Chains A and B, each alone.
Chain A
Amino acid sequence: MSLGGPYYLTLAAVLFTIGGVGLLLRRNVLVMFMCVELMLNAVNLTLVTFSRMLNDIGGQSLVFFVLVVAAAEVVVGLGIIVAIFRRRKGATADDLHILKG
């Protein structure tokens, strides 16, 4: 038994929306970061699904790129977050607007 492609795609869309809304609404940097991860993986899921549906390996290989990039991004991003938390306590994302023009 196997579920059809549309189910996976719907799941991916739901995950992406959760991630997007979370990114927009939450203030905690860590949670926002997790939301980003969620969106990335939602896209990964889409890629894999289409790859399966269209019988094209290209989609799956692209996922590896995304994974690698996401991993690298986590490293950099977490590093920045740790650095921020060392300097100030319990900062939310809105406190960090020193890049305001």
Chain B
Amino acid sequence: MLHYAYIIPLLPLAGAVLLAFFGKRLGNPLAGWFATLLVAASFVVGVFVFLDLLHRASSNRSFDQTIVTWIPVGGLQIKAALLVDQLSITMVLFVTAVSALIHLYSIGYMHRDPQFSKFFVYLNLFVFSMLILVMADNFVLTFLGWEGVGACSYWLVAFWFDRDSAASAGKKAFIVNRIGDFGFLIAMFLIFSTVGTLSYSGVFGAVGSIGPTTLTAITLLLFLGAVGKSAQIPLFIWLPDAMEGPTPVSALIHAATMVTAGVYLMARVSPLLSHTASSLNVVAIVGLATAFLAATSACAQGDIKRGLAYSTISQLGYMFLAVGTGAYVAAIFLMITHAFYKALLFLGAGSVMHGLHDEQDMSRMGGLRKFMPVTAGTFIVAWLAIAGVPPFSGFFSKGDVLMNAYARSPALYAFGLLTALLTAYYLGRIVFLTFYGPERWRTSGPEEVLPHESPAVMLVPLVILAIGSLAAGVIDLPYANLDYLARWLDPLFGSAERVLTFSTGAKDAFEVADGVVAVTGALLAGGLWLRRWQRPRLTPVFFQRAWWVDWAYDTFIARPSTALANFSAYVFDNEVIDGVVNGTATLVRDSGTRLRRLQTGYVRNYALAIATGAALVLAYVASRVGS
């Protein structure tokens, strides 16, 4: 079965190509069903590959499949080759599973859109790129997927291109990601010039021959790439704007899958990362700082999708915290559970918007649980999961991260716990503002809108994801012999993985603390927001504007750059460089103008000149002859 692994990315690619040419003819909703089917088939193949791997010994679960040599020049031999191992298959399974559900949901959500089939072209292309990203066996091919998901994100965020805000948001996402790609590219160059290969196995095998400074540089540069893709400080500014895209896109790309690519990359290069303590510290601190900053920002958002976007940033920060403390399994675990509940949150928000005529502002929602019981119920499940209320999945995954943070440093743990409290609180706020309280949508619009529950095609994914959010925790319980995920991933991270030495009693204490914090946060949100929907002192502008980071970029980078560009184009290039060129021409012309006075046009002047010249020549000759 392993030999058929190439089919996994091939199916969505085929879907994208076919739909690009024949999508219009297939029409609405057939094109959507076709795309969904292909991704689901991809998932099924992934399951077979997974089962195959599962039957092998844990040391024999890595398999390389070369499809073709992509870029062969001298010492640089880059293959289009897939690496099938525990990590890539784990990623494949959750990416295809979540993607298939969101494809299904999109059939309902996008059913009135005139560009229906094009939407699925992009979605399929995205899934293909994401699968290449996680299955590549070398840095360059990963980069292909990396850029591919970025491009799809650009197209999908700017999908409603006639809105300037959407077009700008798509562009911003792409450009900010490019800053991260700069790090990724330089890291690849550095790796190649040091080790002479870019395949993962080659590089990891040669890790001993890389000097410590170089290794730190490589890992930090790769982390810069991850920071861009996963929206961490200081490059997180694109993700809230990316909410301009259709909601299924936000769920799939900007919550569940693409943004976790950075975490995946860090996990993939764990053999490098674990050799450099300083890089690990940077990763952990950036992750935790992002988690905290984004959580505070999420507390003050009025737009439901922006609130969820900051929540995503915050959760991604947690994953980096885990990576930075050497808890790769915990990071992957959180990534998987997060994919379920965050996708669910976004799809729930999409369902609300669908029923409320694309309203995103929570000040015009409220009391919707009576009109959308399924949406409300699943949304609340997701809330409890992300908050970490036992026994929902987030309880275990976040607990795992925090425990590892404590093992690294109690300070990290304390901050992490504070952020966990905020998480439970701000999502509770969103839940209460949306589904409880007065029905503010009644008075807001010019015409009466009656919210309605979404169609089944949208609700089925919600329910499935809710089950996942509820139960996904069982894949990695913190007790011996119940940590299935850790054992499945076991030899992959090897010595890079932190080994926890807590006793069972200590673990219980951590679990209790986590649970208490989560419940406290949830109750706090209920107490503050169940009856009131406006508390300006709790939503300061500083948090609304995400600590003014975006504003700072605009003021200190974007504006001066624009001025510089205009200066270069219209002053320096036109006046200085071209000025020299034109100046040369003018110089020639002016000297000509002066010299032409000599040409009087009078024959006798010329004759005199000739005579004078002849006389001078004669005089010269005579003087030479004489001497």
A interface residues, Cβ below 8 angstroms from B: 20, 23-25, 32, 93-94, 96-101
Contacts and interface: CB of A to CB of B under 8 A. Distances in A.
Given A24-B604, A94-B604, A97-B600, 18 more contacts: A20-B607, A23-B604, A23-B607, A24-B607, A32-B603, A93-B603, A93-B604, A96-B601, A97-B601, A98-B601, A99-B599, A99-B601, A100-B599, A100-B600, A100-B601, A101-B595, A101-B599, A101-B600
Contacts of B595: 101
A5 B492 CA distance: 117
Contacts of B601: 96-101
B611 A24 contact: yes
Judged by DSSP, the binding face of B is: helix
B611 A20 contact: yes
Interface in B471-519: none
A17 to B, nearest CB: 10
Contacts, number: 33
B68 interface: no
B563 interface: no
A101 B611 contact: no
Contacts of A94: 602, 604
Question: Which are the 3 A-B pairs with shortest beta-carbon distances?
Answer: A97-B601, A101-B596, A101-B599
9 contacts: A20-B607, A23-B604, A24-B604, A24-B607, A25-B604, A96-B603, A97-B600, A100-B600, A101-B600
A17 B389 CA distance: 122
B3 interface: no
B598 interface: yes
B67 interface: no
Contacts of A100: 599-601
A101 B602 contact: no
B52 to A, nearest CB: 91
B25 interface: no
B621 interface: no
A23 B603 CA distance: 9
A100 B608 CA distance: 16
B11 to A, nearest CB: 79
A98 B597 CA distance: 13
Nearest to A21: B611
Contacts of A24: 604, 607-608, 611
Interface in B496-555: none
Nearest to B608: A24
Contacts of A25: 604
Nearest to B603: A93
Contacts of B602: 93-94, 97
A63 to B, nearest CB: 20
A101 B598 contact: yes
Contact of B597 (A93, A99, A101): A101
B453 to A, nearest CB: 91
Contacts of B596: 101
B304 to A, nearest CB: 80
A6 to B, nearest CB: 18
Contacts of A32: 603
A56 to B, nearest CB: 20
A23 to B, nearest CB: 5
Contacts of B598: 101
